[in-house]
Structure 1
Amino acid sequence: MGRKRRGRPVDGILVLDKPAGRSSNGALQVARAIYNAAKAGHTGSLDPLATGVLPVCFGEATKFSQYLLDADKAYDATVTLGITTATGDAEGEVTSERDASAITEQAVRDAAAAFVGTIEQIPSMYSALKKDGKPLYELARQGIEVEREARRITIYSLEITAFRSGVQAEVDVSVRCSKGTYIRSLAEDLGQALGCGGHITMLRRTAAGPFTLAQSKNLEELQVLRDRSDFDGLDALLLPIDLALPQMTILELGDTAGYYLMQGQAVQVPNAPTEGLVGLKLNTGQFVGVGEILSDGRVAPRRLVSNMRQ
């Protein structure tokens, strides 16, 4: 018999505003402790330097966090030109310095335009991407550099929101991009295109899938509620599990179809798509999981919640 998890059976998604200086897992563990949640996981790491939107899944929501990993992201960042670092951000050792005072805002805009669209990007050695089971940043800290294959990503928009000229010119950018985009690599590539080098000095994630900063809560706000033992208030901040499926069609199941699907059987659902994965709700509005369209048009259960608390 398995060991029972300690903590409350909390289900739902918390949009956390991750603070600077903490790892994503560190911020997750603090949020989990505040909620006294039995089970929790996050949906895509942010560097310790970075702040902003970090969706945290509690309980049954952890079963569906993989779909948020595939979601598009948005960031605000500051790129300092004229300096390159070993890590591509302000925490790394300076590896080169050049005078960027001749760089103009128009030159930055022209260079940035070349990165919009589908491009190939080589991940940083200081990324969380794994090689033989180890994150690249762990190898980099040991002085080991390995060959990384270029990955195809999409930059939907790269807007220059401010430019401050100088020997170390600064560029504020707003980026919308596909999963797997490394903003520090984008900053390095932009600096290289301008001939002076560059690195990230500020990075804030403003959106992850359907979740935005406007929905986010910081650890201090959560702690105030915990200090009052206001678990109802904490739970009221959680968003529904089905929001983890931003790109899926959500189907409503009738009573009979819902019953048989929850027993693990494929069912017919009117107006279902012809292929792919779909989210599933009962006609009461309760989310029950994810299904897949079979070749005969029926919907088969693929990942279901194991309770009806949600």
Structure 2
Amino acid sequence: MNRRSFRDIHGILLLDKPLGLSSNQALQAARRLVGAAKGGHTGSLDPLATGLLPLCFGEATKIAGWLLGSRKAYEAEVKLGVTTTTADLEGEVVETRPVPGLDDATVEAALAPLRGLITQVPPAYSAIKQDGVPLYIRARRGEAVDVPSRQVEVYRLDVLERAGDTLRLHVECGSGTYVRSLAVDLGAALGCGAHLTGLRRLWVEPFMAPAMVTLDELHAAAEAGPDPLDACLLPTEAGLAHIPRVELDAAQTRVLGFGQPVPLGATATPGRCGVWGDDQRLMALGEVGTDGVLRVLRGFNLPPP
């Protein structure tokens, strides 16, 4: 297919981001192959990280920002005894220290305070912006970077393997958590320092068992034609699979179509929901209030199923 021609295509691609590409580079490569006129990703992965990067195309981009706050899981490799400027392999070595003799109990004692609701200082080399400028740009200029701490949630942090001075960890965390900072804090707790040497994102809610597609597979599908290419995409509603589904009748569909709130009654469950019209078309990401009234958060303009 002609990769210079773009089309109206709507859906979600579960990309297996390769090593060495930024999230935006991976997005643009996939968007060109898919031929999507509009695309966005649902949360950055560092160039040295691989794994699941959900990409949204067309109308699905309307939920990309909402999916940023989803729970995520990673497999991380941490090297003890060495700290770097970036807290990962990209940076220059700052300090090398001997690693003390470790046993399972010592490692677990260092990991325990890093679980649950914790206060974390993100890396100075991060995409967090201050006065509109990413911190990593300030850090590369040699400017003093004062990184504010933030509260994040770590649901799971377990050792999968311990081999010499290297730990392989399973991490499940909420939005805004930096695994690089977990590595730094773990190294500090063990008294020897540490940095991240490998990171792979395993899943992002609601894609808990993702069938990921590589750029090579996407390229092969693009060469085969639009049908194999479109088969790589999930429908937009797949991004709403973890929230309740509300189905409207014909009268309610008309009301919502005019952008008006829809009374559902006192028995309606409050909270966010996906909203389908009487033609089984996804109409909106909505929210039901405690008053039983459905209001639109983001409306979709999808073709009929």
* TM superposition score category, shorter chain reference: over 0.9
TM-score of the aligned structures, taking structure 1 as reference length: 0.92
1:45 corresponds in structure 2 to 44
Structure 1 unpaired stretches of 5+: none
Alignment of 1:244 onto 2:271: no
What is the 5 A alignment of 1:169-180? 169-180=165-176
Alignment of 1:292 onto 2:291: no
Deviation of residue 240 (structure 1)? 2.2
- Evaluate the alpha carbon distance shift between residue 183 and residue 214 of structure 1 in structure 2; reply closer, same or farther with a 3 A threshold: same
2:207 to 203, 211, 215: 211
Deviation of residue 282 (structure 1)? 2.1
Deviation of residue 242 (structure 1)? 2.4
What letter corresponds to residue 192 of structure 2 in structure 1? C
In 2, Cα distance between equivalents of 1:137 and 1:246: 35
1:192 corresponds in structure 2 to 188
2:155 corresponds in structure 1 to 156
1:234 to 229, 242, 250: 229
Alignment of 1:268 onto 2:267: no
What is the 5 A alignment of 1:1-310? 7-100=6-99, 102-165=101-164, 169-212=165-208, 214-228=210-224, 230-245=225-240, 247-269=242-264, 271-274=267-270, 276-294=271-289, 296-309=291-304
What letter corresponds to residue 185 of structure 2 in structure 1? D
Deviation of residue 99 (structure 1)? 1.4
In 2, Cα distance between equivalents of 1:65 and 1:23: 17
Structure 2 unpaired stretches of 5+: none
Deviation of residue 108 (structure 1)? 1.5
- Evaluate the alpha carbon distance shift between residue 133 and residue 159 of structure 1 in structure 2; reply closer, same or farther with a 3 A threshold: same
In 2, Cα distance between equivalents of 1:55 and 1:214: 10
In 2, Cα distance between equivalents of 1:99 and 1:251: 58
Contact kept, 8 Å, 2:282 with 2:302, in 1: the verdict is no
In 1, Cα distance between equivalents of 2:152 and 2:80: 23
Contact kept, 8 Å, 2:100 with 2:192, in 1: the verdict is no
In 1, Cα distance between equivalents of 2:141 and 2:304: 46
In 2, Cα distance between equivalents of 1:48 and 1:84: 19
Deviation of residue 265 (structure 1)? 1.5
